[in-house]
Amino acid sequence: MRTLHGIHYSPWTQRARWALDHHQLVYRFVPYAPLVGEPGLRARLRRPFGRVSVPVLFEEGQVIDDSVDIARHADAVGGAPALFTDECPRWVALADRALSAGRARTAETVLRDPDAQRDAVAFLAPPALRGALRPVARFGARHLVRKYGAEPAAALEDVLEALRAGLGGRAHLTGERLSFGDIAMAGALEFVSPGAHVKRSEAERRAWTDARLAKRYADLLAWRDELIGAHWPKR
């Protein structure tokens, strides 16, 4: 049985799921709880030290612990048209810069927003106790930036400019059909204004949104929404 461990709202997890679903590969999704889920994941990975992150795919003795590797694996074993084209690595590298800058900005926003802190610990406690656990949310936000580092904030805008130029008004970045470049960039746009395809609370949505960029790159958000409408797998 294939199992994918991940955070349902995370763009890194979303892109791995999108690739698996594109190829109609069946898997069980195991939600990963940041911080508290780490010891269990380490045990399953038999990796007591070093960095662990999600998504992680377990499949018949194989462990694939990176979203891009999971998508490449899906291309290798799946029957649908391949998602990777020669141009994809460039777009994925750009999307990764945008994700890094976006994660750092969202973490900073969470540090300033008590409601977002409450929602960030929703998986740990019932509503009445979430206020008391806000320090855990703040620790989690700082921990993420320390763990993964942060691209400069301007990187997100640079990448959006590259995406706009790369698309040139077309539906896809490479060729005539969906590629992993499109999927990776749709993930980056989650840090501009998250799409309706992923459930988030109002405060979380606020923390993920950059109002200035959302206004400036409304065309790219419309592109992302069309892409989701046409290709996001119905689960």
Task: For residue 29, state whether it binds ligand GSH (rule: CB under 6 A).
Answer: no
Least Å from the CB of residue 7 to ligand GSH? 6
Tokens of 149: 């580092």
Q: Which of 2, 30, 66, 158 binds ligand GSH (CB under 6 A)?
A: 66
Least Å from the CB of residue 59 to ligand GSH? 15
Task: For residue 12, state whether it binds ligand GSH (rule: CB under 6 A).
Answer: yes
List beta partners, residue 62: 59
Q: Which of 20, 22, 34, 192 binds ligand GSH (CB under 6 A)?
A: 34
Task: For residue 117, state whether it binds ligand GSH (rule: CB under 6 A).
Answer: no
Tokens of 118: 């409450």
Task: For residue 10, state whether it binds ligand GSH (rule: CB under 6 A).
Answer: yes
Least Å from the CB of residue 53 to ligand GSH? 3
Task: For residue 108, state whether it binds ligand GSH (rule: CB under 6 A).
Answer: no
Which residues fall within 8 angstroms of residue 140, CB to CB, at 6 or more apart? 34, 35, 120, 121
| DSSP classification of residue 189 | G
Task: For residue 53, state whether it binds ligand GSH (rule: CB under 6 A).
Answer: yes
Least Å from the CB of residue 38 to ligand GSH? 6
Question: Residue 123 phi/psi, 5° resolution?
Answer: -75, -10
Helix, coil or strand: residue 39: helix
Cβ atoms of residues 194 and 205 within 8 Å: yes
Cα separation, 161 vs 144, in Å, equals 26
Quick one: 133 or 164, whose CB is closer to ligand GSH?
133
Asked if residue 135 has a cis previous peptide bond (ω within 30° of 0), the answer is: no
Task: Note the residues at the interface with ligand GSH (CB under 6 A).
Answer: 7, 10, 12, 34, 53-55, 66-68, 147-148
